[in-house]
Structure 1
Amino acid sequence: MQWEKHAAALADASTDSGSRWRPLVAAVPRHRFMPRWWHRRGDAWALHDGPSDEAAWAQHAYADRSVITRVGPDHADLAEYGDTPAGLPTSSATLPSLVVRMFQHARITDGCELLDVGTGSGYGAALAALRLEEHRVTSIDVDAYLVNAARHRLDRIGLRPRLEATDGTGTLLGEYDRIVATVAVRRVPPSWLAALRPGGRLVTTISETTLIVTAEKREDGTAVGRVEWDRAGFMQARAGSDYPDTLPDGLRDTARHRDGDSITGSDFPVLDIQEAWDVAAMLSIEAPGTVYGFDETDGCRVTWLAHPDGSWARASSSGTGTTVVHQSGPRRLWEVLNGIRGYWLAHGELPVRGARVLITPDGRTRLARGSWRAAL
């Protein structure tokens, strides 16, 4: 494959003119980091093999988009034709513009020691190793196969940063000036602050949200910063081969189809929460662990929510008709959602974006903006 022209076009599409990251994106053969990948087909996933179709390989590898390389425990590299795994993605080659933005949030300077949490395909480690001297870059991932594959692919293009298979939320070796996580966490692991040098900068995302948190470590061991106005979504950090289902058996089906203990009307219209990013972020803070879905068929819009404590809600409406809400369980999830929407209407925006951040050495994260306070 004549990849150079594709990489140059990707650099133009994914970086700003004059960015020092632009020539680095143009210098990395991204296709080598994703020789096989999964593509969603209905409720399952279909396997694609790059070398057998170079045109499709170039199209996927050099587009500014994420490409799924692992579903559940199934690596695309190790799959056989005809395999159709069902489940959630557990690793990907992240879209290059987002990798670059995360590094830009880190304010990387010459001589920094960088910890890249979430090796994945190894593409981000390649960019970091070109930006810094390669011995200053350490990349870690919980998945030993991914780490070994990334090491081999990096070596093939002449890059040898330090790679390690380890739980990124556990004990870390070494000290770093920058820590950039391309996996999401609910609570900042204490080991991250312990490994970050005073004056060092942490960049991560909060799981179940699109919130990017940046913070600088102080001499007292705390870190202070803010929730950026930028947005990003990453897969949640995992300790095992897949994500456990946190909802009780059958609760999704109950939320979608059954009558609730409470049946009421609502002045708020049905909302596709997945597409309302700031609302979704606030819902995750107010009721962490809530799962939701949306469907629109023949003019009928339906949103459902479910929580591990057994609470669930379903709201539906047809055309301009009244929204009908079914709810059951120890909390009323639709009322939680409506409280968030009411705040937005009253104040013109939600407080979480742009909030100040304080992270204590034990990993507790506190958010504040104006009179609003929250703890993760």
Structure 2
Amino acid sequence: MDQTYQTKDHSTRILSKRRWPKPAGLIIAAILFGLVGCSSKPGESDIEMGLVDEFKCPILEISNVKKTDGADSGNRRYEVSYTFEVAIKGRGDAAAKLLPELDVLNERWQRGRIQNERAAHLAATSDNSEPFKVAEKRTREEVSAARNRLAEIQPCEVPNARFAIERIRAAAQPQAGSSERGVPVGLIMSGVSSMVKAESGWRFTEVPRFDITAEKVSRDNSISMPKSASLWSEYLQSEGAFAATVPSSEQCNFVEKDSKTGQQWWQCSFSTSDTNMDVWFSRLTAVSQGESFDLGAKINEIAERHNEQITEVKPVKWEATEGAEFTATSTEGVRMVKLFVADMYEVQAIASPVPGKVANHVEMQRFIKSVKPASVVE
């Protein structure tokens, strides 16, 4: 209320209570509104916290988060665009150690699964199942060992983390014509997310939408790109029948008896993720040892037995030992075959695609070319 008082000359005056001047009040209101507005938008630290959860893994870290755009969606929601890097902790040194082992273990795991399935099928369908049961147990143990080691060095469980590791691992593979030499350490990515303001702070309301087409690989150019430990090695069969360059050194413990000829066959089985490689060999009987080996007749016999068309027959020779390479095609697919007789053994090397996989002709040819009599030194 206004106040009144009486002056010495007994006149009355009215005083008004002090009020804020209008300009000052507007300034304070603007400051308060500005403070409220600052807290109503998610910042880069809020986005980073959300990304840490999306890529949660002990061997990964999130850095260089940059907010590039944003828009208020109403109802305490905000749409944000951003860029960031997800990388292997320890960067170059850690990546150079991790990536080659990951490459080898993934190949062994995939190869082992295929071989285990083959052994299990043969154990269930063969008249002589014991050797296949042994092989099934061994391959199952190999798969388990590879899987356990993978879990140790790549303990990522959430999908985005596993995706990031796989993309970094793929970037370590040599690409024809590429000038990239530094070891890959991470991915620079962009994304869009919807965020909501909760009592605990800003959080993602849905899975972030990442632009894979804009993805870039970050590298440490001070460290050369690692070379994967080769799974391919020279393998000399203990019976002395053959030598080959193969992706593993596995025992030749598959046995099968040919009901037509009475021959006892041993099978050495190898494979990668897309190619089955087998070497079948049989010790010749005393009668057949003295007989000449008719390559043409043998090729025709194989074609007839498997209902195949034979093409691209090429002779091969090692000193006095003669053989042939050829391609066999049927409704079931294509096979590359090499056959020869060395000392007392008939040998057949066969490369074929894993069912459901596209034929890897380079890998098939590599194996077929490598199979030779064990006594040959090249």
* Bigger Rg over Cα: 2
Query: Greater helix share, 1 or 2?
Result: 2
Under TM normalisation by the shorter chain, which class is it? under 0.3
TM-score (norm 2): 0.22
TM-score w.r.t. the length of structure 1 is 0.22
